[in-house]
Amino acid sequence: EAQVTQNPRYLITVTGKKLTVTCSQNMNHEYMSWYRQDPGLGLRQIYYSMNVEVTDKGDVPEGYKVSRKEKRNFPLILESPSPNQTSLYFCASSLGPGTGAYEQYFGPGTRLTVT
């Protein structure tokens, strides 16, 4: 089954404790991205990757890191989480942008709470 998986689904942590949210897709998509969803703000892109070893900042990259060592995986790293990073996070993959097939496939989401 074609899918995007994320782990963990729920995470409660404390300020400053490094964490990683994993994301994996099995569709051989080149393009992957991370979004955060906040009430009234919709989805905002954090980082994206056009391919292996190619990553770039989205609209709200501060406080986050990513890596793309393999095509299927795109982990999101919070080196020193702060309460303002409490949010719902979605990983997505797609064939585009850059091709005609721009549909995004989303993971199930990770609800992060930073106290």
Partner 1 sequence: AQSVSQHNHHVILSEAASLELGCNYSYGGTVNLFWYVQYPGQHLQLLLKYFSGDPLVKGIKGFEAEFIKSKFSFNLRKPSVQWSDTAEYFCAVYSSNTGKLIFGQGTTLQVKP
Is 98 a binding residue for partner 1 by CB under 8 A? The answer is yes
* x/- track of binding to partner 1 for residues 63-92 (CB under 8 A): ---------------------------x-x
CA distance linking residue 10 with residue 26, whole number of Å: 22
Is 104 a binding residue for partner 1 by CB under 8 A? The answer is yes
**What does each C-alpha distance from 48 to 1, 39, 76, 81 come to in angstroms?**
24, 22, 10, 20
Contact by Cβ (8 Å): 16, 92: no
Cβ of residue 7: shortest distance to partner 1, in angstroms?
14
How many residues lie near partner 1 (CB under 8 A)?
20
Cβ of residue 115: shortest distance to partner 1, in angstroms?
23
Half-sphere exposure of 69 (CA within 13 A, CB side): 3
Closer of 1 and 69 to partner 1 (Cβ): 1
